Amino acid sequence: MKFSLSLPLLKDFTSPDPFRETFDLARIAEESGFDTVTIGHHHFMPGNLSDPLTFLAAVAARTSTVHVGTGIFQLPIHNPVRVAEQVATIDQISGGRVTLGVGMGWWPLEYDVHGSNFKERGARMEEALTIMRLVWQNENVAFEGRFHSFPELTVHPRPLQSPNPPLWVAGVAPAAVDRAARLGDSWICGPVQSLAAALRCLDIYRPACAALNKPADWVLRRYAWVGESDEQVRTEVLPVYVDGLMVHWRESAEEKEEKELFARIDAGEDITAEDIAADRLLWGDPERVIGQIRDYEKATQCDHVHTAFGAGLPADTGQASLGTFEDIAAMIRLFGREVIPAFE
């Protein structure tokens, strides 16, 4: 079992040295046995990075063994050749440790400002992934497409990993999951996607991969809160955390389970934080979290879990995470000390 970690941004960008604590958390994750650390990507949102690739280069320079990646990068609004060049450069800087997680996002403003049509995001993603694999895996190549065209060229530097840096492709719609099978190296599920929804996606993804004679690698992504006291997490943290997450879920909900859940809440049904968190979050003491991961493993045969401690809060909070640096660092160390060894 592999474990990855989403790095939070804990300081306002106007603060002195705003990234220092996040860099420190990357080193703590490396020491604690995480395989990969990732950073998110959004434009015009407090608590998010508009340029995660530059940030990854800095993380790579401060670590030595942990892989660095995006989770996720809004690929359709950017030039794929330029992104391929940047990622290849980070691959060289890191000694072959970069992973690019990509998705289409959900906010039309990001597309409008970058001169893209939000309604064309699926087609743009398709073409961008095709181009990146083409220029990473080949030299002296040309391309003529709907959105991008270029004459014969070779991208430099060449990526260190062969045939290319791993591509994690996010998405929950059937077309997006099929795209992940055809053009990605792994599918990454949504962080609040229910177990039933994830299984529906896997029912599309696995046969598509089998038809291509490729492994059906995928990443289970989950927001999380782990603590020494199960009761304290249940009574003091979980209700506050779930309330904060609900704001973001309402903005980006796509699955029928999420929409049905919101309809029940709006109708006045008494639904507890534990009910909402069930098969969506990892939470509790290490023993409970180990059991939750075991349940996912049994139901889905997952072998890679991507955690985000305290993450997923709405952008207008001004930060991307519940909890202080000390809280997040303690969770990373506790998870590395007691949860990860249970799966070795």
pLDDT of residue 302: 96
pLDDT of residue 6: 96
Residue with tokens 């993450």: 311
pLDDT of residue 313: 66
Beta strands in the chain (DSSP E): 2-6, 36-39, 67-70, 73-74, 98-103, 141-144, 149-153, 167-170, 186-188, 218-226, 282-284, 304-309
pLDDT of residue 252: 63
pLDDT of residue 251: 67
Contact 171/181 with Cβ under 8 angstroms? Answer: no
For residue 187, list its beta bridge partners.
Answer: 169, 218
Two tokens, residue 203: 């029912």
**Percent share of the chain, pLDDT over 90:** 76
pLDDT (tens digit, 9 = 90+) per residue, 192-211? 888 988 999 999 999 999 99
Two tokens, residue 244: 């904060």
Question: Per-residue pLDDT for 255 more than 80?
Answer: no
Determine the Cα angle at 55 with ends 188 and 315, to 5°.
65
Question: Per-residue pLDDT for 235 more than 50?
Answer: yes
Residue with tokens 């703590």: 28
In angstroms, the CA 88 to CA 158 distance is: 6
Identity of residue 240: V
Two tokens, residue 320: 């991307």
pLDDT (tens digit, 9 = 90+) per residue, 277-332? 888 899 999 999 999 999 999 999 999 999 999 876 655 544 455 788 999 999 99
What residues contact residue 75 under an 8 Å CB cut-off, 6+ apart? Answer: 83, 102, 103, 104, 124, 125, 128, 129
Distances (CA, A) of 119 to 107, 109, 149: 11, 12, 20
In angstroms, the CA 283 to CA 263 distance is: 24
Average pLDDT, the chain: 92
Q: How confident is the model at residue 261 (pLDDT cuts 50, 70, 90)?
A: confident
Beta strands in 31-123 (DSSP E): 36-39, 67-70, 73-74, 98-103
Least confident of 91-100, 135-144, 249-258: 249-258
In angstroms, the CA 68 to CA 27 distance is: 11
Contact 226/285 with Cβ under 8 angstroms? Answer: yes
**166 preceded by a cis bond (ω within 30 of 0):** no
pLDDT of residue 254: 66
Question: Per-residue pLDDT for 242 more than 90?
Answer: no
Contact 8/310 with Cβ under 8 angstroms? Answer: yes
Which CATH number fits the domain 2-343, given the four candidates 1.10.150.110, 3.40.720.10, 3.20.20.30, 3.40.50.11540? 3.20.20.30
In angstroms, the CA 171 to CA 121 distance is: 12
Torsions phi, psi for 339 (to 5 deg): -95, -55
Least confident of 107-111, 170-174, 305-309, 320-324: 320-324
Contact 8/324 with Cβ under 8 angstroms? Answer: no
Q: What is the DSSP letter of 8?
A: P
Instruction: Tell me how far the alpha carbon of residue 98 is from its chain's centroid.
Output: 14
- Give the residue-averaged pLDDT of 260-267: 83
**174 preceded by a cis bond (ω within 30 of 0):** no
CA atoms within a 13 Å half-sphere pointing along the CA-CB vector of 189: 33
pLDDT of residue 226: 96
pLDDT (tens digit, 9 = 90+) per residue, 50-98? 999 999 999 999 999 999 999 999 999 999 999 999 999 999 999 999 9
What residues contact residue 30 under an 8 Å CB cut-off, 6+ apart? Answer: 37, 63, 64, 65, 66
pLDDT (tens digit, 9 = 90+) per residue, 11-55? 777 778 889 999 999 999 999 999 999 999 999 987 789 999 999
- Give the residue-averaged pLDDT of 138-149: 98
Return the domain boundaries, the chain: 2-343
Contact 176/192 with Cβ under 8 angstroms? Answer: no
